[in-house]
Structure 1
């Protein structure tokens, strides 16, 4: 595989528009009034093992046990299935929720700064004056052809040790164009400067409609049945309710409800793991995420400490 030389670097700034419409690229984990978090470090599929084992094996086993009990009136079959189903549900749930998730990249709108955890060490940078480095490049190979990619990175400094810096990628670059990354930077910029809610032009809005429309694009397995119903609504209307289902639609209407418990359990497990992982942030960060928390920036604390040392 050959990697051509990258195109010239594009510098994006906090106070200058990119000219692109704000766009969320399936990276935002939480969009709240006080802070915005971006998934980092993988584990996006956390909870899937619990969803499969508990949603299919666990619930399926209990259903079979209940069916056996209703047929025979004997509790033995139900007891056996419960003995199998409960470990299938509880053990993977504990394993996936007790293991900490990688902490996200965190944009604090109240204090106007960014936090990042690297191997348990706190890094940060003020939002005002921040720049992002965007770079578009192509991967070329005989099997894959030419794939366009674009990276988007910011620089952060270790708390109380500003001589140590990192370049942090705001999401994986693969399959993204420079325009997409500019749109994503515009999403972050609109949140920090005009948020917490904004319209399609990045201007402040009292309504969260545009933000919700962006976040709703992310595919969730638990929503697939709802989307299928919405998709066949028009064909049903056009056909007057007769012979409006295609073979694939019929299959989806049968299969998707079967996978719904698995998807909901996976999402629930991920939420629990994420909630537990929040406790890994230092108190300096968590107290600044509260609506009534301090608004001093970490860089201000560093300056105060430096002056005190003198």
Structure 2
């Protein structure tokens, strides 16, 4: 299943992963899946993973605090304070929100189960490939630096062709390679294979399952900052149970109980801003793609239209 091939990262051989052949690894999600639905799988591509952070910091920490002070002033009849704080707080929340949601996010890499094909947008040009017969190239390499030492990394790439111009091909990376091993990338390829071949839901061995329990357990590993306080409370309650009445709170626990509720508005606003920006960006897909993502859309592949 392996074929030596030149890689853009190192001269070591590249492992070819195929759509119909197992790698022997168990399916593993690597914090790349943005949407896992019955009809398509969306992988984050490009950058802007921190979209919404500016709105969260300015709006959550500054804007909400100023608006809160204004509401307190209004309850006390001090409307001059309300006008002043609202005039500062509302722009702090609204301006970065509009700036971050109106700028389009990079479109994701789409794996369509219904038509069994892959889509990718590159600078407004549509690239695609049928799933059947597709192959991915995985290559393991090391990054060496004085600060990081030797960091093991592995790339995972697929080749797509430009719509109506099949002579133009593009290699796209399924997530950043840094900090990933070859086994991890093979596991992620198995996740995609299980979804396309046996999905939409599957078990830990990649076999079809009517239950979405395993998929949910994989997607739940991705940490959400807005859930940090909930996780801290769960950890403290577990420590209390294990302590059996003894003192179970440490200084770090007390600090987290104070800081995390203060950061909650910032984290929730960041996540909300990202979701709005993502929803708006979907309109940038051509109708050929969007209609094929619908449950009752066409089942013809783009390659059949060329």
- TM-score tier, shorter chain, comes to over 0.9
* 1:44 alignment counterpart: 49
Separation in 2, partners of 1:193, 1:181: 18
Q: How far 1:5 moved relative to its partner?
A: 4.3
Alignment of 1:1-310 (within 5 A): 5-70=10-75, 73-302=77-306
Give TM-score scaled by structure 2 length: 0.95
Q: How far 1:230 moved relative to its partner?
A: 1.2
Q: Is the 8 A contact 1:6 1:135 kept in 2?
A: no
Separation in 1, partners of 2:130, 2:152: 31
More displaced stretch, 238-247 vs 132-141: 238-247
Give TM-score scaled by structure 1 length: 0.94
More displaced stretch, 234-243 vs 133-142: 234-243
Q: How far 1:127 moved relative to its partner?
A: 0.1
What secondary structure sits across from 2:70 in the alignment?
helix
Separation in 2, partners of 1:41, 1:112: 23
What secondary structure sits across from 1:132 in the alignment?
strand
Separation in 1, partners of 2:172, 2:165: 17
What secondary structure sits across from 1:249 in the alignment?
helix
More displaced stretch, 72-81 vs 197-206: 72-81
What secondary structure sits across from 1:296 in the alignment?
coil
Q: How far 1:36 moved relative to its partner?
A: 0.3
* Contiguous gaps of at least 5 residues in structure 2: 1-7
Separation in 2, partners of 1:75, 1:165: 63
Give the RMSD, CA atoms, in angstroms. 1.4
Q: How far 1:237 moved relative to its partner?
A: 1.2
Superposed CA offset, 1:40-74 (max 9, x none): 1100010111111111101111222233444x532
What secondary structure sits across from 2:249 in the alignment?
coil
What secondary structure sits across from 2:184 in the alignment?
helix
Separation in 1, partners of 2:82, 2:11: 63
* 2:4 alignment counterpart: none
Separation in 2, partners of 1:268, 1:143: 35
Number of aligned residue pairs: 299
What secondary structure sits across from 1:117 in the alignment?
strand
Separation in 2, partners of 1:74, 1:217: 47
Superposed CA offset, 1:216-249 (max 9, x none): 1111110001111111122111234552211101
Separation in 2, partners of 1:22, 1:264: 30
* Contiguous gaps of at least 5 residues in structure 1: 303-310
